[in-house]
A and B are shown apart, each in its own frame.
Chain A
Amino acid sequence: MNPDNSTLRLRRILVPLDASAHSRAALEAAIQLAEAMGAEISGLYVEDTDLLELCRYPFAREIGMFPTGCRRLETTDLERDFRVQAETIHRMMAMLAEKSAIHWSFMVRRGRVATEILSLATSTDLIVMGRMGRSMAGAPLGSTASRLIENGRGMALLLKEGLRLRAPVLTLYTGSALSRRAVEMAGRLARAAGGAMEVLIPASDSAQWESLRDAVLSATAADPDMEGVRIVFRRIQTNVAAALVTILLAEYRQPIVLPVDAIDGDAEAIRRLLNRIDNPVLLVQ
């Protein structure tokens, strides 16, 4: 993906899927986007080799949820479970995708989940996935999502179960190249959701605020894909992370397009931020 490319186009959206409710939310959002932007969707199911590896332990056992109890973890059982899950997901995708006239495909790969997703990330414009997969880390942010942030490449939309893409779409403009991209992306999302875009501008004084705002206005005016999108500006304090937490906790359903460079610090800082909010987040990095 080339951040300098002046017009932003989404051609391929990757949706890594497992059987969780979060990933279904991700798929629905991806379809919504693909429809609005004419993109193609690739569904991906990864047969986790870590799990297969586990079977080789002499004590490998699975603690079942329904019904509660332990059973011996066997490679053959696990492989069958994978097939069943892949089949279920394929069906779900077919059902959802065929309601709209988009191009879609579904693939099954074997490997480590994060590795497989990252390897495909290079050939996609956007990754849409559930924030929390089936990971048991206990954290609001799933392990694969964390790896994506750490990896720091490509755009990724992270969604939580039950929250759909809806307007207004929030974004952040600092004047950086990434944040310009974020504005473009937010505009498209807002259009897809059929509503307004709200641009948050961290500024220490009015001069900075005005210049940044004018920059957004002139950039959007020149962009044909943003026609008809209403723009609202809001000035926020320069400590972006803290400001975002305050705003987003209040407006927990609003999706936000977040240029990573707006957050000071490393991947860990972004993860901390994401752990505190529930909103769908589109990371621009």
Chain B
Amino acid sequence: MTVQRLPATAVYHACDIEALSFDTTSQIAPLESLSNAMGQPRAVDSLQFGTGMRRTGFNIFVLGPSGTGRHSLVRQILGEKAKSSPTPSDWCYVNNFENPGQPKALELPPGQGKAMAADMKKMITEVRSTLKASFESEAYQNRIQSVQQTFKEQQQEAFKEVSEKAKAKQLVLIRTPQGLALAPMKADGEIMPPDEFQQLPEVQRKEIEEKIEEIEEESRRMFQKIPQWQKEIGEKLEALNIEVAKYAITPLIDAMRAKYGQTQKISAHMDAVEKDILANLPLLMTSGEHGGEPPSLKQGVLGAEASEMASPALRRYRVNPVVDHSQQTGAPVVFEDNPTYANLVGKVEHMSQMGVLMTDFNLVKAGALHRANGGALVLDARKVLTHPGAWEGLKRALKSEQIKIESLAEMFSLLSTVMLEPEPIPLEVKVVMIGSAYIYYLLQDYDPEFEQLFKIAADFDVEMPRDENSENLYARLLRTIIERERLLHFDRGAVGRIIEESARMAGDAERLSTKIRDISDLMVEADVWARKDALATVGRSHVQQAVDARIFRSDRVRQRIQEEIRRGTLLIDVEGGMAGQVNGLAVIQLGRFTFGWPHRITARIQMGKGELIDIERESKLGGPLHSKGVLILSGFLGARYAREHPLALKASLVFEQSYGMVEGDSASSTELYALLSAISGIPIQQGLAVTGSVNQFGQIQAIGGVNEKIEGFFDVCRNKGLNGRQGVLIPAANVKHLMLRADVVAAIREERFHVYPVTTVDEGMTLLTGMPAGEPDEHHRYPEDTVNGQIQLKLTAMAEKMKKFSQPAPQGGPSESGQ
């Protein structure tokens, strides 16, 4: 059972460029839509189903890693759907005259909101001028005069009456600064001087006094009537004003009713406007352009709009078109980049007036939900979740199927000023949230409402199968990207190289990466190199240049590690043999760049009670997966070699010169080899490195990052000098993932470097020691000249020794007692 080294063709699955049906990408058609070729049939299907479903709760969560074309696909599918959907209604907020704190929402056919707002503004201007004209007219003035005259005459009449009564009783009525007084009259009509009065007989004086009291009483009664008359006159004047005003404004309001009053609600609002104008005539007539403020303050940056802020009388009749679809055909698709609470559900702004924050329905601002109402809203899940209140606000709106504008500050009692409660607007929107799978599953686990509201998941895959057909389709995808990014055309070789690189990105020779963004970036860079060479098409070498340049930009740390290995700071041997020491391979990811890092793994044994010490774990540097791998080893060890006797050893395992966390079980086979070599004392060839996890039966299992690991060890060997015997042992299950770097492939082709696919520990030990592993006989005994035989011998011997130690010392031994 000798393991054959892999040929160069097996370590790099090159793209068969002869199978590509074109010379350059200019000869192929771009994809009519990105969706077909992006290897996302599941996501496309979900999105199409979800957008077609017009029921509550069938909102869509698009999950998948970024760069897989989630946004483009969503944009495309929603766009297609929106084109064939009807344009939704416009919405306006108007004053609620009965309760200004709760503005009313009016629904209008698309495009009419703004028109109504403009017409309303015009109407109010006309109302004002018409009213002014009416109230300044001669006819009106005459009527006012006549009403006032009535009052005066009434008053005069009453005075006259009292005055005459007084006269009849020989009394004079005199005006005093604060009222009236009475005095007796002489025969000539003059006031009788008091002296004269005193000379009158007692009886006459008494009589006069009685008369005076009588008239005084009369006068008092008259005075008491005056307020009542004044009230009556006020009412009459008001009735007159309303009559005149009504006559003036009714035609104007009727015109608005005829134009917009299709719904009961709008005509009811027009009734309210009419009623309010009539009730607030003085306010409407006096306010306006010639307000007290200097013009410079009003006509600042805000222009004409601001000047109207000064006159609340005019603002109260305006129409605030919060949702305007006058430029829209079909349903809206809104992408909200900044989904804060206020940007989603809308807000009520405030303005400062004399140092006080004021607001009204004119300051109600629409949110993304308003704009997307009747269509679709696309949001980034992470942003929605990180903005305070945004997620809750979105859910509340979706659940209640209406948009209710409430302020966050108000919710948390952070702001105490005038607040509005605008009437909620009915909501019918398809929300598409785009996020990672992690967020999706988190929400599903922790938010019970999530499942009710986002019933459709569109799951994006990061890779797609690679075959001849898909490679051709992939080429068309590249063509689409070329169009989108306006790149030079790629020739066949370049396309092949990109397909190969895409497989490498997927970490699998049989798959292609669907991370469109990465592919697109690579193409843009290749395009730059081609242009530098002043070529019209991008060739394979340019793609390679782009790949190399990319690696070069990010491989400073790798370079440094390789350097230190070469200089002997990090100890890695690539020649000779050594027992209990094997080259293991770790993978490090720095940002988007991943590389392999060879590590020396060593094992030491001593007599013990079957303990296997994982130094990484003891020092709390090993993750749980790593510990699990090590614990499996003892299971394997015991079952294979220690059936008849206890495992009488204590072994310790370590990653040498590792100063951070070690995680993963991909080194468990390496550790096993080190351990077996340490037990048997058979040296391991240091020219070989090992990766792969192992199970309790000694089978080697697949691991990740196989390409990087092989390349990492290759770099070390090359730096120290290739001798033709060096190579890497990988699990056989990983062979299909091999997409090695060109220089490694070349070395393998030239048999200067080797990759061995290994399925069992025995195969691995044979390769590492150059000694057969050995098969057990029926008694579970291994031949002595095999690796396993040697191990079995050593373990049996250790068990025997252990047994001796544990037996009590012989009676009267030759020790101290003999002396």
Q: Which residues of A contact B (CB under 8 A)?
A: 19, 50-51, 53-54, 56-65, 68-70, 73, 78, 81-82, 84-85, 133-140
Contact = CB atoms under 8 A, between A and B. Distances in A.
B286 interface: no
B84 to A, nearest CB: 72
B220 A138 contact: no
B179 A63 contact: yes
B181 interface: yes
B549 interface: no
B418 interface: no
Contacts of A19: 177
B796 to A, nearest CB: 128
A160 to B, nearest CB: 10
A140 B149 CA distance: 12
B contacts with A: majority SS: helix
B156 to A, nearest CB: 6
Given A53-B193, A54-B183, A57-B194, A65 B223 contact: yes
Contacts of B182: 61, 63
A81 B157 CA distance: 27
21 contacts: A51-B174, A51-B176, A53-B191, A53-B193, A53-B194, A54-B194, A57-B194, A58-B209, A60-B181, A62-B181, A64-B223, A69-B220, A70-B220, A73-B176, A78-B177, A82-B177, A85-B177, A136-B180, A137-B163, A138-B156, A139-B160
A107 B161 CA distance: 35
B283 interface: no
B197 interface: yes
Contact of A81 (B164, B178, B219): B178
Contacts, number: 86
B407 to A, nearest CB: 50
B209 A59 contact: yes
Nearest to B213: A59
Contacts of A63: 179-182, 216, 219-220, 223
A10 to B, nearest CB: 30
B376 interface: no
B231 interface: no
A37 B191 CA distance: 41
Nearest to A67: B223
Contacts of B209: 58-59
Contact of B173 (A59, A73, A136): A136
A73 B177 CA distance: 11
B193 A81 contact: no
Contacts of A65: 178-180, 223, 226
Nearest to A80: B177
B178 A61 contact: no
A82 B193 CA distance: 21
A70 B194 CA distance: 20
B175 A135 contact: yes
Interface in B193-240: 193-194, 197, 209, 212-213, 216, 219-220, 223-224, 226
A64 B177 contact: no
A54 B219 CA distance: 18
Contacts of A57: 183, 194, 197
A138 B163 contact: yes
Given A59-B209, A70-B216, A138-B164, A64 B181 contact: no
A61 B216 contact: yes
Contacts of B177: 19, 78, 81-82, 84-85
Given A59-B213, A61-B216, 16 more contacts: A19-B177, A50-B174, A53-B191, A53-B194, A59-B212, A61-B212, A62-B176, A69-B220, A81-B177, A136-B162, A136-B163, A136-B180, A138-B156, A138-B161, A138-B163, A140-B156
A68 B174 contact: no
B97 interface: no
Interface string B339-354: 0000000000000000
A51 B213 CA distance: 18
Max chain A CB contacts within 10 Å: which of B161, B177, B193, B223? B177
B151 interface: no
Contacts of A68: 220, 223-224
B181 A73 contact: yes
A58 B179 CA distance: 18
A130 B161 CA distance: 23
Contacts of B160: 137-139
B159 interface: yes
Contacts of B216: 61, 63, 70
Nearest to A59: B209
Nearest to A20: B175
Nearest to B191: A50
Contacts of A137: 160, 163
Contacts of A58: 209
A180 to B, nearest CB: 34
A53 B195 CA distance: 10
Contacts of B178: 62, 64-65, 81
A61 B157 CA distance: 23
A52 B332 CA distance: 88
A168 B164 CA distance: 38
Interface string B680-710: 0000000000000000000000000000000
Contacts of A50: 174, 191
A78 B176 contact: yes
A144 to B, nearest CB: 12
B181 A51 contact: yes
B696 to A, nearest CB: 111
A54 B182 CA distance: 8
Contacts of B223: 63-65, 68
A70 B216 CA distance: 8
